[in-house]
Structure 1
Amino acid sequence: MALDEGPDVNSPLLGATIVSALVACGVTDVVLAPGSRNAALALALHRADAHGDLRLHVRIDERVAAFTALGLAKGSGRVVAVVTTSGSAVGNLVPAAMEARAAGVGLMLITADRPAEAIGTGANQTGEQVGAFGPAALATVRVSSHGNEAAWGAAVQRAHVTAAGLRTRRPGPVHLNAEFSPPLVGAVPAPAFRAAEVHGSHGVTVYETSDARDTVVLVGDASWTAGVEARALAELAGLPLLAEPSSNARTGPCAIAHYRLLLDSAVGQRIRRVVCFGHPTLSRPVNALLSRQGVEVIVVADRAEWGDVSSRAAAVVDRVLMPEGDPAWLDAWRTADMHVAQRRGHGWDGHTVAAAVVASVGRGDALFLGSSQSIRDADLAPISARPARTWANRGLAGIDGTLSTATGVALATGLPTTVLLGDLTLQHDMGALVAPPLEPGCDIRVVVVHDDGGAIFSTLEQGGTAYDEAFERVFGTPQGVDLAAVATALGWQTSSVADPLALEAALAGPVSGRQMVIASLTRDGRRAAEASLHELGRDAG
């Protein structure tokens, strides 16, 4: 008998029970990275997909699979599972797990494993998987093929409830490690797991303020629901709405397009209270505002955890009620905003590309913004009257997995999806350019700001003249990749543009199939242009 065999082993039934429990818990999408040790799961998922019980998505790259699952979870608002085989495959889920943990997105990280007695023996593709995700996982749940259906199903439900944050208001990734002993495949009866009725725990505290004097509503990266609530508060109280591009609140009569440029102006210095929704970490001026002495910070949290980057929150609440503010306060912000809008230059740069992309989408569309410079350029785009639903990976604000996540959003929502990202961000996720021919497709348009390097570093300290000698090699990092050729070779409809009119024409048609628009521009002058914008903002109020 082999080391990992036993007399009471039923790996095929374990795989089938896990999938049955996922369906019973309401999981509608699972992303599979095929392998040997997870064969029982793969076959059970294929059967469930064929029966219409869930949607199976297959990706050969585990990192791409994990970020696709993240996008599906973001787009659907439901827990999504990603399934891998054993060994180093597990480690490829870590980046997406870290982002999901920071962003509060429910993921089930289901990893097939060898039996416990094989660990440390040198057996093939065997390592210590328990604890592999460290603090990125809210919990680790273990099952093995030596157990029974009832225990397996209950463990899956515990993992799902934890990932959904149903009892904790703290959604995030949960690791389900499943030990499979041979035989790994075989005929099994259809398991019928019946999920327990687990009730959610929801906060309903309402915080009321006695006045709205010198108050602004600040909205960082947020869900659609949180964004709508933040916008409603601003409009009911007549307060300036300072909304990041992925806040889902950046619209309406109170939204201030150039808010981050105005925070150091005279009107910005008058702020005495900030009501903060979501995860606002996009710009240094906002961080400085939240750290400013004499400013009261009220955090509105839609889950158990909350953001307080300055550690100065006066209150953390579920809801806020405020009386109507002074109309002159909002008018002062609108006037300053208009001042900047009328005096801004408009050339061929990242701001122009971002503004065109934001203008090209609307209700009924999805927009996904890459971290780094692209989302910051979109943060200065004109306010849209009919904005698209917008997402970004702002939990840890990394650029890895952006296109994979956006693909997941497109698959989950079924909406035509536009993605704005930089050339280095795309190069961090080249595997997502592959469209497996047997997998469901989506309508997606990728707009690449191709300035051959990291534009954001030009605007930071290392972009100063003192570091010119080292800048291009260790910060700008040009790669010289012909992205159009790569995308075309992988079946994308590809076009290249080099001016605003050509970009407008490329964005005019419907989003259909897989489209890529490469906007070629230069990083030259970027630092000076940013400095001019900030000076314009300081003088506006």
Structure 2
Amino acid sequence: MNGTNLRINSFTSKGSLELMDSHLKNINSYWAYLLIEELIRNKVDTFFISPGSRSTPLTLAVAENKKADKIICFDERAAAFAALGYARAANKPAVLICTSGTAAANYYPAVIEAKQSHIPMILLTADRPPELRDTGANQTIRQTEMFGSYPNWQFEMPCPTAEIPSAMVLTTIDQAVFRANNPVAGPVHLNCMFREPLAPTAGPLPKSYLKQAVVWKKSTNPYTAYLPPEIAVAQDEADKILHLFNGTRKGLLVVGELNDIATQKAVISLAEKLKWPVFADITSGVRQAGALLPNMEYYDLLLLSDKVQKILNPQVILHLGRPVTSKRFLQFQQNYPAGEYIQVSDSTDRHDPNHRVTRRVYSDVSQFCLRIAAALNGTSDKKWFVAVNEKNSLIRRIMEDRFSGQVEVSEIAAARFIAQSLPEKHGLFLASSMPVRDFDMFRG
């Protein structure tokens, strides 16, 4: 994303279009300015733009705003997945902007991924006015609710007009940002209709209309400030879980994908206190905790052994975060159902393909971990833990002996080499299917 060919660098440079105060030229430009400025006031400041004619007011509003990070991507599908990756890394949504017609349809795969993975995303799709629908007009399709049930929220922005209060534009953006993040993160779609003129040429814009936002313009805050909810387990239920953990000798901690570094640290804190074997998924972000937690980094290979599965056979499984990648874990879960399977997630989704969950805790994972860790005083079965850990250590030695210094290329060797070569605090994008499975099973 650092290449100059991907960014809007000089819309306001000498010899280019003059954009200063272009939002005062006509009602289209003014609404677009309100939309983009309110997004930025909500700390949503990264825009992936796929250029087109109908989206001109939105694109120029982004270009003129000095606080906006602007990234040009001509292919809408690529732009959508780039925005998805940004949101996953930054833990906040990016904004996608495209023109009318089938351009927006290319966002669909990433919209589904954002919904399924609980990744925030905001889509601003430009559209033709309603009088051009079902007329055969160019680049005109039915864009209303075009992404089906996948968006967290979707709204049809009317064609800009001075008859609609400017506050409606601002509160709609505030609602969109909130819904992209709460109660569970996901995509939000605003379909923005525009009539001509699309360029910032002079047009009707009553001074009385501009006065509606005078107080807002003097501020740097969103028009409506949403206070995010605090999702926490009730005290009596937390006490029951704590009592269960304190009495558990053979417990297993399973860690799926986690949202942020703070949550990862809280999970590590709980793992240190529990002293249970940890099955950490490749997407969890806690595989690199090293000596800080009893991590069975080769758990996927461990579970290929029926003997190890029999040794494990836990009384309690605590599952934090999203589902894990390992198919072997699902098979193990089916073969050796724990007496209690507690799943903790800030999502309302059901992730229970084997129907084994006995307690589903809807809570912020970080808060849950810190709360339980603070009062935990249970002890695990050390002999049992050592038996499990020895099997994991054996696999580790075999893998190191087999692949240390290996020259020939293989999926296993590539996964291990890349993982070991990755600098600290660097991210790695893994494709779906086999690459993510190879890293989960073999990277160590």
Q: Which of the five TM-score ranges fits, normalised by the shorter chain?
A: 0.7 to 0.9
Q: Deviations over 1:458-509 (max 9, x none)?
A: xxxxxxxxxxxxxxxxxxxxxxxxxxxxxxxxxxxxxxxxxxxxxxxxxxxx
Q: Deviations over 1:292-316 (max 9, x none)?
A: 4531221111344353232321112
Amino acid at match of 2:307: A
| Cα distance, 1:121 vs structure 2 | 1.2
Partner of residue 276, structure 1: 319
Name the aligned partner's letter for residue 382 of structure 2: P
* One-letter amino acid matched to 1:30: F
CA-CA distance at 1:382 after TM superposition: 5.1
Q: Distance in 1 between matches of 2:433 and 2:87?
A: 22
Q: 1:126 to 1:66 in 2, by over 3 A?
A: same
Separation in structure 1 between the aligned mates of residue 428 and residue 385 of structure 2, nearest angstrom? 28
Could you tell me which residue of structure 2 aligns to residue 91 of structure 1? 105
**Residue 227 of structure 1 corresponds to which residue in structure 2?**
264
Amino acid at match of 2:438: D
Aligned with 2:153 (options 136, 139, 144): 139
Distance 1:195 1:148 in 2: 13
1:149 aligns with 2:166: yes
1:252 aligns with 2:290: yes
Aligned to 1:494: none
Instruction: Decide which of 15, 19, 33 is 2:32's aligned counterpart.
Output: 15
Deviations 1:239-268 (A, max 9, x none): 111111121011323111210122244343
Residue in structure 2 matching 1:40, options 35, 57, 81: 57
Quote the Cα distance in structure 2 between the aligned partners of 1:299 and 1:30. 35
Q: Quick one: which of 290, 302, 322 aligns to 1:262?
A: 302
Shift of 1:219: 1.4
Aligned to 1:341: 396
- Residue 400 of structure 1: aligned partner: none
The amino acid that maps onto 2:432 is S
1:332 aligned to 2:393? no
Deviation at residue 231 of structure 1 after TM alignment: 2.7
1:201 equivalent to 2:201? Answer no
Deviations 1:88-128 (A, max 9, x none): 00100111111110111110011001112221111111111
Q: How does 1:7-86 map to 2 (within 5 A)?
A: 10-48=27-65, 51=66, 53-86=67-100
Task: Give the corresponding residue for 2:424.
Answer: 363
Using the TM superposition, give the Cα deviation of residue 362 of structure 1 relative to its aligned residue in structure 2, in angstroms: 3.7
Structure 1 position 342, deviation (Å): 2.9
Which residue of structure 1 aligns with residue 279 of structure 2? 242
Query: What CA distance in whole angstroms lies between the structure 2 residues aligned with 1:332 and 1:293?
Result: 18
Identity %: 26
Q: Answer 1 or 2: which has greater helix percent.
A: 2
CA distance in 1, matches of 2:142, 2:81: 23
Deviations 1:39-98 (A, max 9, x none): 0001000001xx2x1211110000111111111111111121111111000100111111
The structure with the largest alpha-carbon Rg is: 2
Letter in 1 for 2:384: W
SS of the aligned residue for 1:96 comes to helix
CA RMSD of aligned residues (A): 2.1
The CA deviation at 1:149 is 1.7
Deviations 1:193-248 (A, max 9, x none): 64212111121213422423221111122223433333322221111111111210
* Structure 1 gaps, min length 5: 1-8, 384-541
Structure 1-normalised TM-score?
0.65
Secondary structure of the 1:202 match is coil
Counterpart residue type for residue 99 of structure 1 = E
Pick from 238, 250, 258 the counterpart of residue 214 of structure 1: 250
Instruction: State the Cα deviation string for residues 351-383 of structure 1 (Å, max 9, x = none).
Output: 111111111124232222222211222123454
1:173 to 160, 169, 187: 187
More strand by share: 1
Contact 2:320 2:344 in 1 (8 A): yes
In structure 2, list runs of 5 or more residues that go unmatched.
1-25
Q: Aligned pairs, how many?
A: 369
CA distance in structure 2 between the aligned counterparts of 1:324 and 1:122, rounded to whole angstroms: 71
